[in-house]
Chains A and B, each alone.
Chain A
């Protein structure tokens, strides 16, 4: 029992979860509309898209890299699929094509990072330009709307009467990621590469495979998120990924995944996404101006990650049993 308690305390997601509970309590006290069940469903639905978008990104961050191209990938996949749907391609084929496109972009990122050995930051920044550029080219400034109902079902439909399909998909994605990151060899490889790339290489871990898998996951789930966005809005345009921007990274990091790699998980990302959407939701309920909203989100990100980093630092000192000088910063490579 005490072992289990220790383990929970060790888990980064645990602290994020505490933060989430505190936030929920504050929100319920400040607004009476907040505690309604419909409002919770709205929050979860909004969080679902963000969650799917950052689910694969979590793997890349655990690996110690970063993927700046997820928003653009979502936009490109969403736009392509909307065009295909308009051309009369059946829904199942469109969804398959969308996921494959994501995988192709992920393969490109993985190739650049693992074979060419570019820093992930600049490689994915460049692919971001290319992918976004392609989206602009194929859309040529237009907006596509009025998509077939069989497709919009994944964004707006309900299963079993009450359960939004969007949330079900998000839960499935979380389960897949959980099993993959925590229970498989490849997941463990990704963690080892993140905590020490050289050590992982020397101990015979297939580093390149781990890198490829992480980047492909990231882009594939970004593609899925693009499909969900398009289905939910029943419309597609080239800039639709922009609004998520770096909030994807923020969601992952708030969830306790380290930007230095080697630590984190999908449960944390789930909590992080819900948290960001919850803050947006309560600000809208309270009628805070849209100009002031980024400030509050920014401050919340800074405060959350600040406490996370401080506690991480203390734990490291204690666990090693020796006091390392506090002004020595362990900042490893591969942020970029």
Chain B
């Protein structure tokens, strides 16, 4: 009886469980502190999550191909440092931006080739790449942060429409592009196929190597964009700006219900995965929980979200 009730509920709503989890958290936090639901704070959450959002969109593509990209956090750091260093050497900011975007795309292509051509486990290939990039970043500035001042940074981070700042719109634009790529192109179909049944895809005459390489290159490109936004926000190049973002982006993707094995998932739900992480972070700060307790609480919330998601899906599949 109880079970049937739950099936009906899922059938009616058909929404991924992460959304309910997100709603619960928002309600809890807004009861704890009334100003949590203020327009200002919502803007803050969106602003804070825009970088991770962009990274997670790229990561979603990679995860759908049964891979992981552990190098995108390092790529973000590299972009901030390389872009600022180039600017200090006299390269105009827009030209520098194109150069670093090409650079991260190339890193993505190498990742893709290692995975697809070299048949390496993605985890290890991109972990090796992460080390290489981190080293490159540190060597570039001998480990120090580099600064550069320009109006462009302010224009990009502070210009706003309806009170919402530009990075949020950039993230939204990238979401639209990613959605179209995944759902309306041959490449997107290839990505789902690679996750579902790579053998069948290859036998159907699709070049799996090309699809994999393109997915990693796209992740690299988006890491570049995220890096540029980060550099604008902190107005400097920080060699550790992106540390840990690779795992957060994977966690957000998986929280959004994208599967590492079955080519199932979509980029829309990744948004909610990212928001969940950002809402928790922001909420803990607004409510005033000290930093000491935060990682443990984030872990517990993350774990409960995944468990609920997994149990809901299993009960769905059983019927």
Chain A residues engaging chain B, CB cutoff 8 angstroms:
66, 68, 112, 116-119, 121-123, 125-134, 136-137, 140-141, 246, 249-250, 253, 258-260, 289, 291-299, 301-302, 305-306, 309-310, 312-313, 325, 327-331, 333-336
State whether B296 touches A136 (Cβ < 8 A): yes
Interface check B261, CB cutoff 8 A: yes
The smallest beta-carbon distance between B275 and chain A, in angstroms, is 17
Among candidates B129, B207, B259, B298, residue contacting A298 with C-beta atoms closer than 8 Å? B129
Q: Which of B290-319 contact A (CB under 8 A)?
A: 292-300, 302-303, 306-307, 310-311, 314
Taking A125-B251, A130-B299 as contacts, is the C-beta distance between A335 and B131 under 8 angstroms? no
Among candidates A123, A297, A310, residue contacting B131 with C-beta atoms closer than 8 Å? A297
Specify which chain A residues have a CB less than 8 angstroms from the CB of B296 in the assembled complex. 129-130, 132-134, 136-137
Specify which chain A residues have a CB less than 8 angstroms from the CB of B209 in the assembled complex. 327
Q: Which of B99-158 contact A (CB under 8 A)?
A: 114, 116, 118-125, 127-132, 134-136, 138-139, 142-143
Interface check B66, CB cutoff 8 A: yes
Measured CA separation A335–B311 after assembly (Å): 20
Taking A129-B299, A331-B198 as contacts, is the C-beta distance between A119 and B260 under 8 angstroms? yes
Among candidates B135, B208, B306, residue contacting A295 with C-beta atoms closer than 8 Å? B135
The smallest beta-carbon distance between B85 and chain A, in angstroms, is 15
Q: Which residue of B lies closest to A326 (CB)?
A: B119
Measured CA separation A122–B248 after assembly (Å): 10
Among candidates B138, B260, B303, B306, residue contacting A130 with C-beta atoms closer than 8 Å? B303
The smallest beta-carbon distance between B240 and chain A, in angstroms, is 12
Chain B residues engaging chain A, CB cutoff 8 angstroms:
66, 68, 70, 114, 116, 118-125, 127-132, 134-136, 138-139, 142-143, 198-199, 202-203, 207-209, 247, 250-251, 254-255, 259-262, 292-300, 302-303, 306-307, 310-311, 314
Taking A134-B296, A294-B131, A298-B128 as contacts, is the C-beta distance between A112 and B307 under 8 angstroms? yes
Measured CA separation A313–B116 after assembly (Å): 12
State whether B121 touches A140 (Cβ < 8 A): no
State whether A305 touches B120 (Cβ < 8 A): yes
Measured CA separation A126–B247 after assembly (Å): 11
Q: Which residue of B lies closest to A325 (CB)?
A: B202
Measured CA separation A126–B250 after assembly (Å): 12
The smallest beta-carbon distance between B304 and chain A, in angstroms, is 9
Measured CA separation A128–B251 after assembly (Å): 12
State whether B124 touches A118 (Cβ < 8 A): no
Specify which chain B residues have a CB less than 8 angstroms from the CB of A258 in the assembled complex. 121
State whether A301 touches B127 (Cβ < 8 A): yes
Taking A116-B310, A129-B299 as contacts, is the C-beta distance between A301 and B131 under 8 angstroms? yes
A sample of 9 cross-chain residue pairs with beta-carbon separation below 8 angstroms, ordered by A number, consists of A125-B302, A129-B298, A132-B295, A133-B295, A249-B124, A298-B130, A298-B135, A327-B207, A335-B121
Specify which chain A residues have a CB less than 8 angstroms from the CB of B307 in the assembled complex. 112, 116, 118
State whether A299 touches B128 (Cβ < 8 A): yes
Measured CA separation A308–B136 after assembly (Å): 26
State whether A292 touches B135 (Cβ < 8 A): yes
Among candidates A133, A291, A333, residue contacting B297 with C-beta atoms closer than 8 Å? A133
Measured CA separation A289–B203 after assembly (Å): 48
Measured CA separation A140–B314 after assembly (Å): 39
Specify which chain A residues have a CB less than 8 angstroms from the CB of B135 in the assembled complex. 291-296, 298
Known: A66-B123, A328-B203, A336-B254. 15 other contacts (CB 8 A): A129-B298, A130-B295, A133-B297, A134-B296, A136-B292, A253-B121, A259-B124, A292-B135, A292-B139, A306-B118, A328-B202, A329-B198, A333-B262, A334-B261, A335-B260
State whether A122 touches B121 (Cβ < 8 A): no
Measured CA separation A293–B136 after assembly (Å): 10
The smallest beta-carbon distance between A41 and chain B, in angstroms, is 27
Measured CA separation A68–B124 after assembly (Å): 13
